[in-house]
Amino acid sequence: MAVEQLRITKIAAADVSPNRRRGGDIRVLLSPKTVGATSGFMGVLTLAPREHVSEHYHPYSEEFLYVVRGRLSMRVETEVVDLEPGDALAVPIGARHRLVNTGDEEAVAVFHLGPLAPSPELGHVDTEEPPHTAESTPEVGGGRR
């Protein structure tokens, strides 16, 4: 299988379909599908007050999270880390984690996962029932509007 070369491409968050299956508004911006990335993928997450992203883990990838706006609380395994704008957090490969907006305003964070899983369906393992299991959602880095 030929590896696609990384393309210099501007991606606007507004042009990417949101994935709401695990909670919040998750938009994968830079990925193998959108720009031919080979080392990971990056996106933006928006959570309304008290909204959460259900617990899951990544068997092949580390996750990096940077808070742009709002107050978030990330539970990684049994440790809870409170985050505010300007804070960043690394989640190790295989660590269960759950994110919640603990503030009174919308929260926005940027995330990056890498390295890539061998295939997209192996990238996330849900350990809590996602809030929107019946919704159709685009593949990671998938659907453009």
Q: What pLDDT is recorded for position 130? A: 86
Contacts of residue 28, defined as CB under 8 A and 6 or more positions apart, other chains included, come to 16, 19, 34, 41, 42, 43, 140, 141, 142
Q: What pLDDT is recorded for position 7? A: 84
Ramachandran quadrant class, 114 (left: phi over 0; alpha: psi -120 to 50; beta: rest): beta
CA distance linking residue 101 with residue 107, whole number of Å: 6
Domains within the chain, CATH numbers bracketed: 13-103 (2.60.120.10)
CA distance linking residue 131 with residue 21, whole number of Å: 6
Cα 86 versus chain centre, distance = 18
Q: What pLDDT is recorded for position 5? A: 81
Q: What pLDDT is recorded for position 134? A: 56
Q: What pLDDT is recorded for position 131? A: 84
Q: What is the pLDDT along the chain (145 residues), one digit of tens a residue?
A: 455 588 899 999 999 999 999 999 999 999 999 999 999 999 999 999 999 999 999 999 999 999 999 999 999 999 999 999 999 999 999 999 999 999 999 999 999 999 999 999 999 999 999 887 655 444 544 433 3
